[in-house]
Homo-oligomer: A and B are copies of this chain.
Amino acid sequence: MADAGVSYTIATVENATEIGSLLRDHGYRLTSPRWQVWSVLRSANRHLTAEEIAHKVNDADPTVNISSVYRSLTLFEELDLVRESHLGIDGSARWEIAHPDDHFHLVCRRCGSVNHHVGELVEQIRSHLGDHHAFAAENIDLVVTGVCGDCLG
């Protein structure tokens, strides 16, 4: 079975009600900044910097401060709802919804697209490391830069 394509299963938290109760279950409140940051990440089809998130959040609610964006992201990361990554594009971190499945990133240096892929590759790496290197892999971060199929023409 080849790896699945660009689309991938979305995290299990689907809507405001769910993230609201999830936060409450952990003793946190659902607030406007948190909800806005969550929806921006949910509707994004790519990795976003904190500044990009803040900008989109401010389209809906200009009163939200970027420090609340950072605080929301930090909280979501602790709850395993989002993930931070350094994709080597520039100095800033980028954020995405935490995927329930193993996945990796293909960064096209020509068109700048960042595509996610889920599938067997990460699992192959994991078992390779266990079999050949006696290493119990927990987090596998595979970032590949190159040229995507569209740009290859």
B-binding residues in A (CB < 8 A): 2-3, 86, 88, 106, 108-109, 117, 121, 124-125, 128-129, 132-149, 152
- Contacting pair A136 B147 (CB below 8 A): yes
- Which residues of chain B come closer than 8 Å to A135, judged between CB atoms? 106, 108, 144, 146-149
Query: In whole Å, how far is A98's beta carbon from the nearest beta carbon of chain B?
Result: 15
Which residues of the other chain, B, contact A129 by a CB distance below 8 angstroms? 106, 144, 146
Across the interface, A2 reaches (CB within 8 A) one of B3, B132, B149, namely B132
Q: Name 19 A/B residue pairs within 8 A (Cβ), A-sorted.
A: A86-B88, A88-B139, A88-B141, A106-B137, A109-B138, A117-B133, A121-B128, A134-B149, A135-B144, A135-B146, A135-B149, A137-B146, A138-B145, A138-B146, A138-B147, A140-B142, A141-B143, A141-B145, A142-B142
